[in-house]
Amino acid sequence: MNIGNVFESLRQYRQISSALLILSLKGQKANSASESKEVKALLEILNLKVSGSSIFSDKVWHFEEAQEKSAKSISKDRFKFNFDDYPNIPEPIIFELKMVILMVSLLPRSELQRIEKKNTSFKIQSLTSMFKATLRYFDHIFSSLIDAFGADVVSDNFQSLQDLKRTHFVEYSEGFEITSQTATLIERAFGFFHAKRIREYVFAKKLVLPRLAQTKAVVSESTKRDRDKVLPGEVFEKVSAISGYVITDFLTKLGVEVTDKTALKMRRNFPFEVEDLGLLDVDWGVIDTYAMNRLLGRGYPYDEALKYLNDVSNLLTKGQQVAAMRGALNQRFDARNGSALVQDYLALVYRSALYIIAQYTGMRPSELFEIRLDKPLEESFGVPCIVSHVKKHQEFERSLFDDKWVCIPAMVDALNAAKVISRIRVNPYLLSKDGTTAFGGEPSHYSANGLKTPLKLHFQQIVPEDYDEIEVYPYLLRHTLAYQLFRADLGLPFISHQLKHFGNLVGAFSTASNKGFSVNTLSYGEIGEQLSGSGRARNLRHKAEVDAVRAAFDPDAAYAGVNGEDHKNRMIRVFEGYQASGFTKEEIFEAMAEQGMAIANVGTGMCYGGKTEDFDESLPCIGGLRCNPVRCSNAVVTEAHIPKWREVYVENMRVVESGSEDVSTEHALEAANEARMVLQSLGAF
């Protein structure tokens, strides 16, 4: 599209008489030869290309090129205008609005808004949000005018937006209900109508476009969602652990090598219940038979379906029909509908894989949409990486990832599990629905809000008792990851082994890949800031600081150890004084965090030795296994230390169960018993 030619054509609009424009829009031809110059100018505008597939006169404008370049998570409707959706707006005014929309899509921002200095134009998806809301508003006003005066009167008297007076906006906005957020979009679009070039080309005089709050439109406050919300620590720990367990269990049953050795070891003495999850005893025979069942059901010829199996010899039946496959699965699981059992199980495995990948890459949804399971991992500096595309804030984000996301061992396993299931779906996209692509069809991914659906299902199955308290939004996992890194930066224990892998590996990788950071490995807090951005980072770090304060000073929490009760009583006295002054407990935590009292907790406990006053904000930490109520009377262990003590117990029980008779086994048993007693004292065993 030659932008200069477009504006040359649009410049002629003011030469076209309203009578000719109306005739043309009604499909009638002008008879006067003297109007040939006007006709030519009009035809030029009507035939202008607005996109690769749409011209100015089309009822539907589709910006396909912009759609192809944008993130797949953005709805297709964000790249279309259907002007038939606004039947009450007179045709000449639709023509004017088309002119404005086209010009705004081409002009640099600096020409459209005084405060803008960018010479780039607006993205189409941003413009559609603003102008669709504006078109709905104009349609409502003209609908009200038609109801009051009739269609003919409106058609005769309103042939330009210049014909609308302030009173029309004020009076005939009645009944138009929007949120303040939508009102802002409309008023932002109104600002474009006053841009110098748009006034020169389209309007002979300045339009009167009042703020919606000054009209009879009903503007309600937008519901503000807390986009700094994160998964609660116990939910994060449990979902991470169980998802890793499900994946490891699945790969082990298929004989696929497990990369995450920690998760493999955790299968013994696993701290969470998994009996109700419906984990099946599967092998390649079950997987391939179920795959054949799905493929035949979607129209694949038998010989074509064989291409998607691991090995034809795995099939549990020699039959080549759907009924034979289903019968074999029923027999294998001694169930009336064995294929349904397998479907539910594989859906759980896939959601577990999706969760691990989304949680521990910190990717935005738009970046997750780009992941294809048929593409191999790319090794960089000896570390396997997922390759995707940064779609937003590219300069900032590239400083950490540069289109490559480090794969911790758990993610490698998650990808391998997802790849097995993706063959059944004949769909290379990670973010894809459960269904199998029909024979001859094109694979597709989830819609714009697709990540929310599998996450909700996963949380509902894994943590049903907490599900109602979880608000799932697209950036939930990304912000949770940043928040957990801020916690770790404050010295609070890691609550998942995957998180520890992520922090260590990403920090080292960022240094090795020479992204302009210090030669020192990035700290957990620095990684958290890169993930969340400077503005939100302050909120998430503060949330972590409040957690650290709460863990150490909550007067209502459980504390283990001889000094546990003493510590609790001291905290009660401190808090009673503040609460008597009218402060709530949460306000006190907030104030403590603001004053820098988020002390660095040790991995297993905090030392209460050498205390000199009732309130010591610089409690030292020794960090060893002996820092526990069993070994040391000065130790105080809080609920925040439960994950670390659980890790101590599991690690040492693994040594005990290995069957070795050397001295290390005795030490491991002693350590495991101590850990068990600490956990019991906190009510966590």
Report the CATH number at residue 261: 1.10.443
SS (H, E, C) 259-289: CCHHHHHHCCCCCCCCHHHCCCCCCHHHHHH
Residue percentage of the chain with pLDDT more than 90: 38
β-sheet bridge partners, residue 60: 82
β-sheet bridge partners, residue 429: 372
Give yes or no: residues 274 and 287 share one domain: no
Q: What is the pLDDT of residue 397?
A: 40
Domain assignment present for 300? yes
Supply the Cα-derived Rg of the chain in whole angstroms: 32
| Number of Cβ atoms within 10 Å of the Cβ of 514 | 9
Which parts of 155-243 are beta strand (E)? 177-179, 218-220
Mean of pLDDT values over 584-605: 62
Q: What is the pLDDT of residue 616?
A: 35
Q: Quick one: 157 exposed, middle or buried, by C-beta within 10 A (0-12, 13-18, 19+)?
A: exposed
Mean of pLDDT values over 490-518: 56
Give yes or no: residues 291 and 193 share one domain: no
Structure tokens at 630: 């069993």
Give yes or no: residues 400 and 485 share one domain: yes
Q: Calculate the alpha carbon distances from 444 to 233, 301, 305, 307, 427 in Å.
A: 34, 21, 19, 20, 7
* Cβ atoms of 231 and 473 closer than 8 Å: no
> What is d(CA 652, CA 351) in angstroms, rounded to the nearest whole number?
31
Give yes or no: residues 521 and 604 share one domain: no
Q: What is the pLDDT of residue 382?
A: 73
Domain assignment present for 329? no
Q: What is the pLDDT of residue 621?
A: 33
Domain assignment present for 226? no
The answer to whether residue 509 scores a pLDDT higher than 60 is no
Strand 383-387 vs strand 177-179: parallel, antiparallel, or unpaired?
Answer: unpaired
> What is d(CA 142, CA 395) in angstroms, rounded to the nearest whole number?
45
Of these ranges, 64-68, 318-322, 491-495, 659-663, the one predicted with the greatest mean pLDDT is 318-322
Q: Each residue of 625-636: pLDDT tens digit?
A: 445 665 665 566
Mean of pLDDT values over 192-217: 90
Give yes or no: residues 189 and 215 share one domain: yes
The answer to whether residue 624 scores a pLDDT higher than 50 is no
| Alpha-carbon dihedral 292, 297, 299, 300, rounded to 10 degrees | 0
The answer to whether residue 298 scores a pLDDT higher than 70 is yes
Q: Quick one: 313 exposed, middle or buried, by C-beta within 10 A (0-12, 13-18, 19+)?
A: exposed
Structure tokens at 672: 């495991």
Structural domain boundaries, residue 292? 283-322
> What is d(CA 310, CA 292) in angstroms, rounded to the nearest whole number?
11
> What is d(CA 224, CA 101) in angstroms, rounded to the nearest whole number?
29
* Cβ atoms of 103 and 13 closer than 8 Å: no
Domain assignment present for 327? no
Better-scored residue on pLDDT, 309 or 364: 309
Structure tokens at 483: 């928040």
Give yes or no: residues 243 and 351 share one domain: yes
Structure tokens at 526: 């620095």
Give yes or no: residues 315 and 192 share one domain: no
Q: What is the pLDDT of residue 684?
A: 72
Of these ranges, 48-57, 282-291, 553-562, the one predicted with the greatest mean pLDDT is 282-291
> What is d(CA 269, CA 266) in angstroms, rounded to the nearest whole number?
6
Give yes or no: residues 257 and 290 share one domain: no
Domain assignment present for 250? yes
Look-up of token digits 């479907």: 343
Mean pLDDT over all residues of the chain? 80
> What is d(CA 535, CA 466) in angstroms, rounded to the nearest whole number?
29
β-sheet bridge partners, residue 405: 386
SS (H, E, C) 526-546: HHHHHHHHHHHHHHHHHHHHH
Structure tokens at 302: 């038998």
Residue 148: partners with Cβ closer than 8 Å, 6 or more residues away = 172
Residue 622: partners with Cβ closer than 8 Å, 6 or more residues away = 602, 607
Give yes or no: residues 274 and 307 share one domain: no
Residue 195: partners with Cβ closer than 8 Å, 6 or more residues away = 104, 107, 111, 112, 113
Give yes or no: residues 471 and 419 share one domain: yes
Question: Each residue of 669-681: b (16+ CB within 10 Å) or e?
Answer: eebbebbbbbbeb
> What is d(CA 5, CA 11) in angstroms, rounded to the nearest whole number?
10
What's at 223, amino acid-wise?
A: T
Domain assignment present for 331? no
Q: What is the pLDDT of residue 683?
A: 73
Structure tokens at 659: 């069957």
Residue percentage of the chain with pLDDT more than 70: 75
* Cβ atoms of 49 and 36 closer than 8 Å: no
Mean pLDDT is lowest, of 334-338, 482-486, 523-527, 561-565, for 523-527
Give yes or no: residues 165 and 297 share one domain: no
Give yes or no: residues 43 and 80 share one domain: yes
Domain assignment present for 546? no
Q: Each residue of 79-138: pLDDT tens digit?
A: 999 999 999 999 999 999 999 999 999 998 888 876 555 678 888 988 999 999 999 999
Q: What is the pLDDT of residue 577?
A: 72
Number of independent structural domains in the chain: 4
Domain assignment present for 227? no
Structure tokens at 207: 């339009």
Residue 38: partners with Cβ closer than 8 Å, 6 or more residues away = 15, 16, 17, 20, 30
Structure tokens at 486: 């801020």
Strand 635-638 vs strand 606-607: parallel, antiparallel, or unpaired?
Answer: antiparallel
